[in-house]
């Protein structure tokens, strides 16, 4: 079994297959296409390069967030941990934008959850 460098020092040891470390290339390509004109083509090498880069970036940020959780004796990484990791690793600009997004996401999720609860209560009456 290989020790994943992103979990070293955390006491985890498991085998990580190369394809399991990367995001699915179809998903990466779909996101890339949304940023390009409709008739644009993307070379296979470009998709593979982006796949590796974004996967490594996510792993880098998540590893830092996981380390924070480990130090605080928590097992679950949350949105604030990711934002903290991004800020501490020098990605403040992205962290600020994502902080706003996370806040709005939680606001909408709360409203949807509350509406579902109200609807379920009304149906039980």
Out of 1-15, 34-48, 54-68, 95-109, pick the least confident: 1-15
Q: What is the mean pLDDT of residues 64-72?
A: 98
| Whether domain 1-90 has CATH 1.10.20.10 | yes
Q: How far is CA 59 from CA 11, 27, 70, 100, 111, in A?
A: 17, 17, 16, 22, 32
pLDDT at 75 over 80: yes
Q: What is the mean pLDDT of the chain?
A: 87
pLDDT at 21 over 90: no
Q: What is the mean pLDDT of residues 55-76?
A: 97
Got the DSSP string for 66-97? HHHHHHTT-----HHHHHHHHHHTT-HHHHHH
pLDDT at 9 over 60: no
């Amino acid at each position: 079994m290989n020790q994943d460098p992103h979990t070293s020092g955390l006491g985890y040891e498991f085998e990580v297959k190369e394809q399991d470390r990367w995001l699915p290339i179809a998903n990466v390509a779909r996101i890339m296409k949304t940023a390009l004109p409709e008739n644009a083509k993307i070379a296979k090498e470009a998709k593979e390069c982006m796949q590796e880069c974004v996967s490594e970036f996510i792993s880098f940020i998540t590893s830092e967030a996981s380390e924070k959780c480990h130090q605080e004796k928590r097992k679950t990484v949350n949105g604030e941990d990711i934002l903290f990791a991004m800020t501490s690793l020098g990605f403040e600009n992205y962290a600020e934008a994502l902080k706003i997004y996370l806040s709005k996401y939680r606001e909408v999720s709360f409203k949807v959850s509350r509406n579902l609860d109200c609807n379920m209560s009304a149906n039980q009456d």
